[in-house]
């Protein structure tokens, strides 16, 4: 049963922030509402007021390129993320996350800002944003502040303060002359629509056949996605020439599978899902590397795509 609350419908961002500061009682922001409605019904969250952001134009505008960044407003839906040409070109792993998130109905409603604010351990956007080294702008009555996704994930306490909201997400573009490849894959629940049991995002940047940047983040094995810093350092600076690309790709996939298995063991020791996840995450490793090196036709994992 849905609890009673009142709704405010501001027409611009300034009004939304002003409304949040003046209203009495528990105030929550809502845009897509796909998570919040369930939380209100279950009693996980309570609200005296909901501030509906769906009519705030500043939060609904399309992705743009500005000052070396891909700029996304927090009201962008997962359907838009999965189809927008700028997102597919510059942040392909985020587009992939959008494709695999929930049902078509959920993708049409759920927003990137809401997924970030919910900070679910199984949230699909966070590993992709972490691998892309994205920044998030947060606004409230005390002004605006910007945090990297890495800073948000490392925070011991809730990142969003009361009556603050996510307004935009900035993703650095690859430098000129750098080829960026990125992807995202997941293994989902069979009983709930695409709730991730494991997800993995990867970003690789190449310059003249050399790996200049490798960024990976794995989700759904802790309270927040984990960046694989040690693995990233091991492969940056390695040459990937045409004649040796297959060998290098195979080595990366094998090493990543071993590294992820150890990561699962360290993150959830003794948990009933440990045995399953330490095996499943190896399949994700091969799926991701197969996407990063499509010309090599690896695809040895086979398990990741089946749970999408």
Tens of pLDDT along 41-68?
A: 888 889 999 999 999 999 999 999 999 9
For residue 96, give the H/E element and its range.
helix 92-100
- Tell me, rounded to whole angstroms, the distance of Cα 128 from its chain centroid: 4
Helices and strands of the chain, counted as H and E runs: 12, 12
Tell me the two tokens of residue 91. Answer: 């942040």
At residue 219, φ and ψ (nearest 5 deg) are -120, 170
CA distances from 32 to 48, 187, 243, 287 (A): 18, 24, 48, 31
CA distances from 85 to 81, 92, 104, 263 (A): 9, 9, 19, 34
**Confidence at residue 242, expressed as pLDDT on a 0 to 100 scale:** 83
Q: Nearest-5° angle of CA 84, CA 65, CA 215?
A: 80
The pLDDT tens digits of the residues spanning 117-166 come to 988 878 899 999 999 999 999 999 999 999 999 888 887 667 899 999 99
**Confidence at residue 35, expressed as pLDDT on a 0 to 100 scale:** 83
Residues 168-174, mean pLDDT to the nearest whole number:
98
At residue 305, φ and ψ (nearest 5 deg) are -65, -30
Q: Where are the alpha helices (DSSP H) in 133-211?
A: 149-154
Instruction: Please tell me whether the overall predicted TM-score, pTM, comes out greater than 0.85 for this model.
Output: yes
The pLDDT tens digits of the residues spanning 221-273 come to 988 899 999 999 999 999 998 888 899 999 999 999 999 999 999 999 999 99
Q: Nearest-5° angle of CA 281, CA 112, CA 1?
A: 95
Question: Residue 239: how many CB atoms within 10 A of its CB?
Answer: 12
Rounded to whole angstroms, the Cα distance separating 106 from 129 reads 20
**Confidence at residue 189, expressed as pLDDT on a 0 to 100 scale:** 56
């Amino acid at each position: 049963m849905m609890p009673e609350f009142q709704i405010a419908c501001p027409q611009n961002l300034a009004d939304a922030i002003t409304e949040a500061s003046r209203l009495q009682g528990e105030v929550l922001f809502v845009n897509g509402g796909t998570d919040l409605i369930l939380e209100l019904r279950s009693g996980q969250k309570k609200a005296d007021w909901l501030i509906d952001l769906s009519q705030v134009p500043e939060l609904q505008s399309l992705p743009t390129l500005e000052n070396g960044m891909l700029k996304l407003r927090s009201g962008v839906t997962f359907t838009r993320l999965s189809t927008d040409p700028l997102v597919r070109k510059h942040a392909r792993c985020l587009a992939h996350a959008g494709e695999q998130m929930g049902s078509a109905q959920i993708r049409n409603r759920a927003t990137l800002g809401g997924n970030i604010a919910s900070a679910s351990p199984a949230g699909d956007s966070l590993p992709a944003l972490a691998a892309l080294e994205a920044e998030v702008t947060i606004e409230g009555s005390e002004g605006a502040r910007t945090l990297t996704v890495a800073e948000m994930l490392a925070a011991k306490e809730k990142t969003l303060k009361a009556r603050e909201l996510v307004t935009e997400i900035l993703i650095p573009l690859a430098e000129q002359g750098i080829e960026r490849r990125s992807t995202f894959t997941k293994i989902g629940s069979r009983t709930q629509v695409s709730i991730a049991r494991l997800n993995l995002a990867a970003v690789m940047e190449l310059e003249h056949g050399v790996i200049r940047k490798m960024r990976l983040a794995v989700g759904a094995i802790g309270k927040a996605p984990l960046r694989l810093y040690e693995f990233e350092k091991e492969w940056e600076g390695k040459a990937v020439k045409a004649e040796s690309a297959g060998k290098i790709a195979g080595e990366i996939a094998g090493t990543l599978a071993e590294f992820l298995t150890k990561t699962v063991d360290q993150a959830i020791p003794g948990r009933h899902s440990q045995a399953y996840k330490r095996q499943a995450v190896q399949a994700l490793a091969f799926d991701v590397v197969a996407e990063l090196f499509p010309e090599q036709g690896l695809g040895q994992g086979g398990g990741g795509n089946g749970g999408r």
